[in-house]
Structures are given as structure tokens and as C-alpha cells.
Structure 1
Amino acid sequence: MKVLIISDSHGLTKELAAIKKRHEYEVAAMIHCGDSELPADCAEMAGFYAVRGNCDYDSIYVNERIELIRDKTFYITHGHLHNVKMSLVNLHYKARETGAHIVCFGHSHEAGAEMIDGILMINPGSILLPRMRKEKTYVILSLENEDAEVTFYEVDGTKLEHMTARFRFSH
């Protein structure tokens, strides 16, 4: 199973639509971790499990979502309410409270993935304003049994092999 994860697109429509079109038929779900700065009911956001970021003003967006996608529980939030620019501790505690296997968040615009005590934490970066690197990124998460592969892509669809990370869930 594959899941598209994107965040911090900050008003981009053409790029968001292109990424969605590129991957929508290969993924089981699409997640937007906030700061789209777009109306929740616009065409570009259709089909996304989306949350509200600190730059989103459409009240339809929620601050957090818990979604069961196939057999994995995803905790989706922007991250600003968990102080993710300072530490992932608060976010990790929230993930444990919710029983999440996978956390998808943004806010810091810093692309990365790590396994913390059996919980996979993914920040897809930003397709507009990346921090700590020049590449404007999003993620395709591939899940097969207990194996996870986090593959980062540039906004134009170029795979960033050097950023690919593999993880294994343990019981």
C-alpha cells in the first residue's frame, strides 16, 4: 500500500494538482499536513485527509485527524500545536495516546522520517519553502506487512534516492 504525504504548500495550486495527478491512482490515500492556504472544498484539496495549519483559515479543517488506512493508524496534524520546531516529544506522546503507528506532520518545513519507539514520524517537508535543504519535497510512503519505505520526491516528481529511508514496525 502507498500513501502520498504532503505539507506546507502555502497557496500553490498548479504544483499540488500536478503531484496529485501524478500519484492519485497508485496510492490508497492522500494526506495533507496543513498550511495549504486553500479552501477545504477546492479541487486541489479534494481527496486529501487534510488538517489545519497555522496559516489555514478555512474553519472546515480540523487540527488533527486519526485515520485507519488499511491496517495502520495514522495521526495527522500540522505540528504547530505540538511545538515540533523545538522537539518531537509532545507529538510522540500524542501519537502514543492515540495508538498511532504513523505520524504525519509539517510546520517546520524540514523533511525527515524517523522511528521513535515503534512510531514512524514523517515530515514531508515543503513544496514551496524547504528548510535545511534546497529540495522542495513530498513523500510516498510504501507499506508492506511490517516494512515501511519513505521515499522523498521533489515537486517535479524526481525521486531523491539519498533521502529514502526504510523502517520496520515491531510488535
Structure 2
Amino acid sequence: MKALVLSDTHGTTEEVAEVCARHREEVDAIFHCGDSELPSSSPVLEEMYVVLGNCDLKNAFPEEIVEEVEGVRIYMTHGHNYNVKMSYVPITYRGEEKGVHLVFFGHSHVPVAFQQNGIVYVNPGSLLIPRSRSERSYALVHATGEEVTVQFFERDSGRELTDMRESFSL
């Protein structure tokens, strides 16, 4: 299973469409972790799983989803309800409650990948307003039955941020 993961795009459509077009043929699914600030009817979001962020219109999207793609169970939420800017503990508890392999979240605009209790957590950063790094980023997540590889990319050039690549055993 290979997924494109975006978050915190805050009203941008051209940039989202460009990143999706860049990777559409190589991924099984596209996930948007919230704060798209677009209506649910926006054509750029048509082929994506999307959750509600704190800047989105209320009830535009679900607050959380669990999806299975190619045998990999994925939980996605924006992260604001789990205080991800303060600690990852609440979201790790939620991931365990959901019984998933992967958790995708956003909100902090900080790209990160880590593993806790056998679950891999990924925040792709922001396509618009980066924090902690200068690059506007997104992620590609490749999960096999035994391993997860997370790659982060810079939005404009599509260049991999190789110092951020992470691999985890499941």
C-alpha cells in the first residue's frame, strides 16, 4: 500500500492539484489530514479521504476516519482534538483504541514520523505554512506487511527531504 498524505493546505487548490498529479499514478490512496479550508464539493478533493480541521467549515468533513487500503488499517484525524502541538500521548492512545497500523494527522504543521506500540504515526507538515523547517512538505507512506517507509517531500520541487526518511518494522 502506498499513500500520499497532505495536510494544512489552507485554501490552496493549484498546489494541491500539482502534488496529487505528481504522485497519482504511484499511490493507492490520497489522504488529507484537515484544514483544507475548501468546500467538500471542491474538485481537488474528489479523490481523497479528507477529515475536518479546526479551520474548516463545521460539518464539511468527518472529524476522523478509519480506512483499510490494501490490507493496511489507517486512522486519520486533524489532531487539534488530541492536542498534538503539546504532546503525542493522546493521539497514540486513540491510535491504539482504533486498532490500526498507521495514524495520519496534521494541525501542528510540523512534519514527523514515529512509532509507538507498533503503530506508525505520520504528520506530513503543511503544503502552505511550514513550522520547524523551511520546506512546505507532504509525505508518501509505503506499507508492506512487515515494514513502513515514510518519505517527506518539498512541495514546489518535489525533492525528497532525505534527512527525514524513516523506516519502521511492523
- TM-score, normalising length from structure 2? 0.97
Deviation at 1:152, TM superposition (A): 0.2
Instruction: Decide whether the 8 Å contact of 2:72 with 2:143 is kept in 1.
Output: no
Q: Is the 8 A contact 1:52 1:64 kept in 2?
A: yes
What is the CA–CA distance in structure 2 between the aligned matches of 1:134 and 1:15, rounded to whole Å?
A: 17
Matches within 5 A, 1:1-171: 1-57=1-57, 59-156=59-156, 157-169=158-170
Quick one: which amino acid aligns to residue 143 of structure 2? L
Structure 2 Cα separation of the partners of residues 82 and 108 of structure 1:
11
Give CA-to-partner distance per residue, 1:1-56, whole Å, 9 cap, x none.
Answer: 21000000001111000011111111000000000001111111111100000000
What is the count of residue pairs matched by the alignment?
169
CA spacing shift, 1:21–1:58, aligned 2, 3 Å: farther
Amino acid in structure 1 at the alignment position of 2:164: M
Q: Give yes or no for contact 1:51–1:64 (8 Å, CA) kept in 2.
A: yes
Alpha-carbon separation, structure 2, partners of 1:61 and 1:101: 23
Q: Distance in 2 between matches of 1:39 and 1:71?
A: 30
Shift of 1:134: 0.2
User: Structure 1 vs Structure 2: percent identity of aligned residues?
Assistant: 44
Q: Which aligned runs of 4 or more in structure 1 are off by greater than 2 angstroms?
A: none
**Equivalents in 2 of 1:132, 1:26: separation in Å?**
28
Deviation by residue 1:128-161 (Cα, 9 ceiling, x = unmatched): 1111010110000112221111000010211111
- Verify the 8 A CA contact 1:40 1:58 in the aligned structure 2: no
Give the gaps of 5 or more residues in structure 1.
Answer: none
Distance 2:145 2:103 in 1: 18
The Cα offsets for residues 58-88 of structure 1, whole Å up to 9 and x where unpaired, read as 5230100011111111110000011111111
In the TM superposition, what is the alpha-carbon distance from 1:100 to its structure 2 partner? 1.2
State the TM-score, normalized to the length of structure 1.
0.96
Q: Please list every run of 5 or more consecutive structure 2 residues that lacks an aligned counterpart in the other structure.
A: none
**What is the CA RMSD across the aligned residues, in angstroms?**
0.9
Q: Distance in 2 between matches of 1:143 and 1:119?
A: 12
Contact 1:39 1:58 in 2 (8 A): no
